[in-house]
């Protein structure tokens, strides 16, 4: 039976170091929930606390109604999949999957039936008599996944399970994992540092930084309305402009301002703000309107062309890797070259405004 997970004010310390200073999250029964953040932000630490491999210094973790802080890992009924497949090289695929059931009180006939079913679900039944060395990385990871779910765990925990696979296989496997999770219907906590993977695989994402959840929402909302500048730049690319806000008027430069049409929360007068514009949210404008820019570099990406830009009459937040405009090839009339000039407008419905001091979002969240 799959269960909900409730993490309340949990604290993790290693010696004097506080890794997680007090984190809360409620994960629904059957949900595919992802912890996303840069390397070292505490994702594995939190996952291991849920699994029971790490101590909990304060707070509680519950499965359904039951607090599990004091329950040892092997009694939490958890399925785990790691980056390294951790399958036995000397056992066949079938024996590897069966292994999980060996320590459970499952009658022999039912055991065989369950293994058959799971092999089919993860689509490795035709390889069941092979040894792991004769499987691809993706197939080996399917074996690991099958072994984790054959025991009907209460929750499934996955820590960067696709990191060892090459790019094409990663894309294929993330689709497979999502399909299998939905089919089995098991509450899943998935850890990754790969934002694209998180966006496509998750029901909901928690974006973490230094042990603190920055934002928790469905993928679309996190991309469209990042809660702060960290999220806006960690997930996808955001071009950041230093602008000023007066009422609903967002001014980029002496010659260019837009009306936010009631989206901005705080009343203000000439308040310095940071405006975040995603590369695909610029609109080409007739010459002389909007913001003047020059193409510095062109990168052809198949469906898109990406232009690195230089602006002359706006101020940009310092230390940005690049300022980018991307154009959908399907609708682009002409492809620009380095040195070309262009005029760009921004779409007030898509733009995000962040307070300069707190760096947090100031727009109403219109979904």
Ligand X SMILES: Nc1ncnc2c1ncn2[C@@H]1O[C@H](COP(=O)(O)OP(=O)(O)O)[C@@H](O)[C@H]1O
Using CB under 5 A, list all residues that contact Mg ion.
44
Binding of residue 161 to ligand X (CB under 6 A): no
Among 4, 45, 62, 298, binds ligand X (CB under 6 A): 45
- Nearest distance from C-beta of residue 320 to ligand X, angstroms: 24
Contact map string, positions 1 to 40, toward ligand X, x by CB under 6 A? -------------x----x-----------------x-xx
Binding of residue 50 to ligand X (CB under 6 A): no
- Nearest distance from C-beta of residue 113 to ligand X, angstroms: 37
**Which letter does DSSP use for residue 255 in this model?**
T
CA 341 centroid distance within chain: 35
- 38 burial (CB, 10 Å; 0-12 / 13-18 / 19+) is middle
* 15 vs 254 by CB, closer to ligand X: 15
* 44 vs 327 by CB, closer to Mg ion: 44
Binding of residue 44 to ligand X (CB under 6 A): yes
Both tokens of 47, joined, read: 């996952």
* Contact residues for 223 (Cβ-Cβ < 8 A; gap 6+): 199, 235, 236
- Rounded CA separation 275/229 (Å): 10
* 48 vs 278 by CB, closer to ligand X: 48
Q: Is 61 helix (H, G, I), strand (E, B) or coil?
A: strand
* 37 vs 290 by CB, closer to ligand X: 37
Q: Which does 279 bind (CB under 5 to 8 A by kind): ligand X, Mg ion, none?
A: none
Q: Which does 19 bind (CB under 5 to 8 A by kind): Mg ion, ligand X, none?
A: ligand X
Among 36, 41, 205, 314, binds ligand X (CB under 6 A): 41
Both tokens of 364, joined, read: 């109403």
Query: Do 250 and 314 touch, CB atoms closer than 8 A?
Result: no
- Rounded CA separation 273/40 (Å): 30
Binding of residue 230 to ligand X (CB under 6 A): no
* Contact residues for 193 (Cβ-Cβ < 8 A; gap 6+): 36, 37, 38, 39, 43, 160
How many residues interact with ligand X (rule CB under 6 A)?
A: 10
- Rounded CA separation 226/234 (Å): 10
Q: Which does 14 bind (CB under 5 to 8 A by kind): Mg ion, ligand X, none?
A: ligand X
Note the residues at the interface with ligand X (CB under 6 A). Answer: 14, 19, 37, 39-45
């Amino acid at each position: 039976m799959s269960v909900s997970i409730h993490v309340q004010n949990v604290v993790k310390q290693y010696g004097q170091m506080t890794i997680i200073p007090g984190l809360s999250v409620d994960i629904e029964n059957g949900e595919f929930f992802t912890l996303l953040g840069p390397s070292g932000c505490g994702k594995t630490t939190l996952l291991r606390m849920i699994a029971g491999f790490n101590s909990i210094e304060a707070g509680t973790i519950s499965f359904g109604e039951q607090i599990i802080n004091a329950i040892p890992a092997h009694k939490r009924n958890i399925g785990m999949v790691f980056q390294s497949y951790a399958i036995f090289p000397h056992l066949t695929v079938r024996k590897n999957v069966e292994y999980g059931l060996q320590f459970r009180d499952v009658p022999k006939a039912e055991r065989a039936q369950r293994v058959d079913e799971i092999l089919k679900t993860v689509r490795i039944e035709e390889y069941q008599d092979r040894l792991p060395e004769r499987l691809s990385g993706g197939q080996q990871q399917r074996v690991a996944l099958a072994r984790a779910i054959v025991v009907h765990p209460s929750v499934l925990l996955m820590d960067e399970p696709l990191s060892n696979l090459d790019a094409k296989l990663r894309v294929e496997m993330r689709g497979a994992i999502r399909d299998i999770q939905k089919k089995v219907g098991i509450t899943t906590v998935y850890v990754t540092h790969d934002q694209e993977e998180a966006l496509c695989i998750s029901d909901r994402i928690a974006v973490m930084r230094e042990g603190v959840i920055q934002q928790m929402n469905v993928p679309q909302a996190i991309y469209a309305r990042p809660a702060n500048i960290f999220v806006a730049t960690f997930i996808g690319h955001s071009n950041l402009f230093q602008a000023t806000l007066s009422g609903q008027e967002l001014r980029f430069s002496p010659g260019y301002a837009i009306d936010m049409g009631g989206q901005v929360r705080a009343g203000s007068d000439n308040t310095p703000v940071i405006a975040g514009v995603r590369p695909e949210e610029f609109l080409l404008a007739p010459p002389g309107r909007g913001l003047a820019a020059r193409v510095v570099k062109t990168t052809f990406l198949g469906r898109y062309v990406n232009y690195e830009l230089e602006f002359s009459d706006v101020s940009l937040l310092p230390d940005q890797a690049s300022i980018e405009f991307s154009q959908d090839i399907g609708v682009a009339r002409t492809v620009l070259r380095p040195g070309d000039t262009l005029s760009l407008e921004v779409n007030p419905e898509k733009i995000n405004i962040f307070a300069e001091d707190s760096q947090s979002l100031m727009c109403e969240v219109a979904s």
